[in-house]
Structure 1
Amino acid sequence: MKDSPVLIDTDVHNQIGSLLPYLPKAWHERYQTVKVPYGAHYYSSIGTNRKDAFPDKGGVPGSDPQFLISDHMDRYGIDYAILTGSGVLGLSLDPDPDYGNVLAAACNNGMIDTWLNVSPRFKGSIFVNASDPMEAAAEIRRHASNPNMVQVLMASAARMPYGQRFYHPIYDAANECGLPVAIHPGTEGKGISGAPTPSGYPTRYMEWHNILPINYMTHVNSLVCEGVFEKFPKLKFVAIEGGISWLPHLMWRMDKNYKALRESTPWLKRFPSEYIKDHIKLTTQPVEEPNNPEYLLQILHMIEAEKTVMFSSDYPHWDNDNPKMAFPRMPKEMKQRILAGTAAELYGLHTRPERRDDIANDLADQIAGKSKQSPEHVWGEDE
């Protein structure tokens, strides 16, 4: 459709700023001492953020809404940015659930005041403390009526796999409110979550970063096998920044074992891969980059990427992706779905925001095959 979004970025990291104004006074001293617990613990020589993403007026990358719009959204013609915060997901991993709960509420109120009220192009995530599912469900219901809050967001690190019944109050609230539940990495191996791999702790950042998909495999496996999508049939689950190429292997293995072991999961009515394709969404960054780009295209076909994959940039982090350069050539329909179509349906963003510019219109022409630019500047030529 002519007025449909052209490009939706499903993982943009914004800085909410100090949470002190949004916290009850009883928590001020603790917050001033420890802030949000469980930040980075593996040293990276290149840091977290791009060096060119610092706002002109000062501050850290992702802290200035207007600069983020001009530096990232306007540059690439991004219609909407799904905001996922920065350095706050550790709130789910504190041993004190009450502190995690007040931090989550403060993050949500701060998100609304400092970002969602600035531009209709920003859409927010409802932060919840997954360690206290009943309070997390209440937090979801408090914000579900706000049309600018479009998903629930939790740390991908957890005490136990996310399909287990302990977490079902969160899914009940999200299912009731029509909101997807998303997870995001960065806290694996911290707080009450335990080691980031089944064999313990990696030595350095590169090892930790390489192996993050195993945690996503754990959660997807758990969600399906525990029957979450039978119990909550409208629920969608978004695996942000966990990669893509692991999913075919997991689906094949789950389907094979289901044939012999289905008596242990009698609530499942379909093959596990069918639940995955209907309920799980992946975001693209950091997309795998095989030497032969055709291999990635094969993976995308295997997982029916036109309904399971959504574009994300991970701005302003060091490995963020340029939407015009991140992928191999692919069929036009698949490209349009990854860039915006699937996200538009998931988040209810069916029309472009009122503010449009020449960059966005140029991108729309590129996707429609009308670009006058040379092929290397076009986001994935059509097959």
Structure 2
Amino acid sequence: MTDPQDPYLIISSDCHAGLPTEEYRPYLDSRFHREFDEFLAGRDRRREEATRLGIRNEAFADKWFSDNEEGLRGGWDVAQRLKELDSDGVAAEVVFPDADAVDSQTAAPFGVGLGLSGDQDPELGMAGAQAHNRWLAEFVSQNPERHCGVALLPITAEPDKVVAEIHRAKESGLGALMIPSMWVDHPPYHDPRYEPIWAAAAETQMPLVTHSGAAPRHEYGDHLGIYVSEVTWWPARPLHFLIWSGVFERHPGLKFGVAESGCWWLPNLLWFMDRLYLGAHGGKKLSPFSALKRPPSEYLDRQVFICATNTKRRELAQRYEIGVDNILWGSDFPHPEGTWPNTRTWLKNTFHDIPVAETRRMLGLAAAEVFGFDTDKLASIARRIGPTPADLGQPEDQAAVEASWARSREVGRHWLTGNDFPTMGVTAP
């Protein structure tokens, strides 16, 4: 049994790695080298455009790279990466693409990293994804107990090619699949063409994940605030399609997550969807939701997780509506909007009054279950580098802490108590 004061086993559900873009060439099929050269040639133009739109702050960028030059090499250098993870107290990580979030100098070929979207050329998109996946498999294989590599999956390509890439990625040692949050002019995710893909992901036990990044930037003009306001909405949108079209009902082994989009939006979404399903007055005129056999929140608890990067205090206050086990903390290493290189301080400021048992779930144990980490293999690492509850400012006597959250825990998902349906007599299932 774990001693209450044992160090935390921390797993970051959202970190990033990627080669300097030009170094992907050996991993890219040679027939695409000409197109790759053209892609590289356009980088300066894209950087200038980012500066013009205000996406790149020159003063911030210069200071960021100057202050963190050594640590940023951990984006592709394994030895440096382990040093940075240890310093942050992170025993293991889920590895997404694009280590450089300031200048995009480690972007996967043809823009299929965090910008993965349905607007990429299907052939080039798959080629770029496979190049990154090949490199990432080599990268994580050096310390497989500490890394779960997320394969890029351009799901809008031909389904048979997508299914083949799922199996190839699994065989290479990768553990999850990042799909586009935007399908653009391709069929949306309720279309039957995706059924073999959902089945293959479930069969291989590889969670599907969307990640913030892609958005219709051409619509925003110079108004960066519009992009910032919407960028976390797009990765969450596929959840609406997967739930209401019955994908989770048909594929109960499928896991789906939303990364680096926070989880502040989820309580209201759950409240709204459950009320519709359970017969709230505003949904009475609608046809029955025949694709579902249970309220949306039950599918969420069974199959959905949120990689809640840099989890906020406001989100933790809502954790009983979201579901404690559905919140997976992430550091976002090595991105400047994350907690690195000050993760230990961030954790203390954020979790100091959260019960230890719940903290253990959100900081690592829930992620271990979703992504298949072996906690026994990680235990010695956690004992060596993990912060303790005392380090996070959590008192040894947890009785008062538990009591302070008792009312919030009791209220939980209040809409399932029947109080939201006074005229219909609906009670929780």
Fold match (TM-score > 0.5): yes
How many residues align? The count is: 358
Supply the distance in 2 between the matched residues of 1:167 and 1:315 (Cα, whole angstroms).
Answer: 32
The superposition leaves residues 150-199 of structure 1 with CA deviations (integer Å, 9 ceiling, x where unpaired) of 11112323326544434333211101111110111112126xxxx6xxxx
Aligned counterpart for 2:204 among listed residues 177, 198, 202: 177
Amino acid aligned to 2:95: L
Q: 1:186–1:123: structure 2 CA closer, same or farther, 3 Å change rule?
A: same
Taking the TM superposition and a 5 Å limit, the aligned residue runs for 1:49-68 are 50-51=64-65, 52-55=67-70, 62-68=75-81
Change (3 A) 1:163 1:343: farther
> 384, 388, 394: which is aligned to 1:361?
384
1:116 match: 141
Quick one: which amino acid aligns to residue 300 of structure 1? R
- Counterpart residue number, 2:425: none
Structure 1 residue 187 and structure 2 residue 214: aligned?
yes
1:304 aligned to which of 307, 310, 323: 323
C-alpha change, 1:297 and 1:187, in structure 2 (3 Å) is closer
How far does residue 94 in structure 1 lie from its aligned partner after superposition? 4.6
Residue 44 of structure 1 aligns with an amino acid whose one-letter code is R
Whether the aligned pair in 2 keeps the contact of 1:4 and 1:352 (CA below 8 Å) is no
| Cα distance change on mapping 1:124 and 1:309 into 2, 3 Å | same
SS of match in other structure, 1:82:
strand
1:27 aligns with 2:52: no
C-alpha contact (below 8 Å) 2:87/2:385 kept by paired residues = no
Unaligned runs of 5+ in 1: none
User: Following the alignment from structure 2 to structure 1, what is the Cα–Cα distance between the partners of residues 311 and 62?
Assistant: 17
Structure 1 distance, partners of 2:291, 2:359, is: 35
Alpha carbons 2:267, 2:318 under 8 Å: kept? yes
Structure 1: distance between partners of 2:91 and 2:228: 30
Alignment check: 8 A CA contact 1:104 1:127 kept? yes
2:302 maps to 1:278 = yes
- CA displacement 1:32-76 (0-9 Å, x = unmatched): 2115999785523244994443237xx7561322112112x1112
Give the deviation of 1:110 after TM superposition: 1.0
2:325 pairs with 1:325: no
Number of the residue aligned with 2:414 = none
SS in 2 for 1:19: helix
CA contact (8 A) 2:15 2:93 kept: yes
Measure, in 1, the Cα distance between the counterparts of 2:145 and 2:316: 34
- For residues 293-317 of structure 1, the C-alpha deviation after alignment (integer angstroms, 9 at most, x for no partner) is 4x43331111112x10111111111
In the TM superposition, residue 331 of structure 1 has moved relative to its aligned partner by: 1.7
Question: 2:11 matched to 1:8?
Answer: yes
5+ residue gaps, structure 2, are 99-106, 403-429
State the match for 1:69 in structure 2. Answer: 82
Identity %: 24
What is the distance in 2 between the residues matched to 1:183 and 1:113? 23
Q: Shift of residue 353 of structure 1?
A: 3.8
Amino acid aligned to 2:83: S
8 Å CA contact retained: 1:116, 1:123: no
Moved more, 174-183 or 88-97: 88-97
Partner of 2:318, secondary structure, is helix
What secondary structure is seen at the aligned counterpart in 2 of 1:342?
helix
Secondary structure in structure 2 of the residue aligned to 1:125: strand
CA distance in 1, matches of 2:119, 2:37: 16
Q: Answer with 6-15 or 16-25: which moved more.
A: 16-25
RMSD: 3.3
Amino acid at match of 2:319: L
Q: Give the C-alpha shift of residue 7 in structure 1.
A: 0.8
Q: Which moved more, 1:115-124 or 1:177-186?
A: 115-124
| Range moving further from structure 2, 31-40 or 94-103 | 31-40
Single out whichever of 255-264 and 166-175 deviates more from structure 2: 255-264
Say if 1:350 and 1:97 are closer, same or farther in 2 by CA, change over 3 A. same
C-alpha separation between the residues in 2 aligned to 1:267 and 1:44? 45
Aligned to 1:338: 362
1:207 aligned residue? 226
Q: 1:310 to 1:355 in 2, by over 3 A?
A: closer
Q: Report what 1:158 is aligned to.
A: 183
TM superposition shift of 1:108 = 1.0
Structure 1 or 2, whichever has the larger Rg, is 2
**91-100 or 274-283: bigger deviation:** 91-100
Q: 1:287 aligns with which of 311, 323, 335?
A: 311
**Distance change (3 Å), C-alpha of 1:108 and 1:297:** closer
Secondary structure at the aligned position of 1:375 is classed as coil
More helix by share: 2
Equivalent residues of 1:175, 1:232 under 8 A apart: yes
**Distance change >3 Å, CA 35–CA 10, structure 1 → 2:** farther
Q: Aligned partners of 1:36, 1:162: CA distance in 2, in Å? A: 34
Q: Residues 255, 129 of structure 1: CA spacing in aligned structure 2 closer, same or farther, 3 A cutoff? A: same
Give the secondary structure class of the aligned counterpart of 1:149: coil
Q: Which residue of 1 aligns with 2:92?
A: 80
CA contact under 8 A between 2:8 and 2:360: conserved in structure 1? Answer: no
Q: Match of 1:96?
A: 121
Once the 2 structures are TM-superposed, how far is the Cα of residue 141 of structure 1 from its aligned partner?
0.9
* Deviations 1:303-362, CA, capped at 9 Å, x for gaps: 112x101111111111112255242421222111111111111112132446945x7436
Q: Does the CA-based 8 Å contact 1:49-1:61 persist in structure 2?
A: no
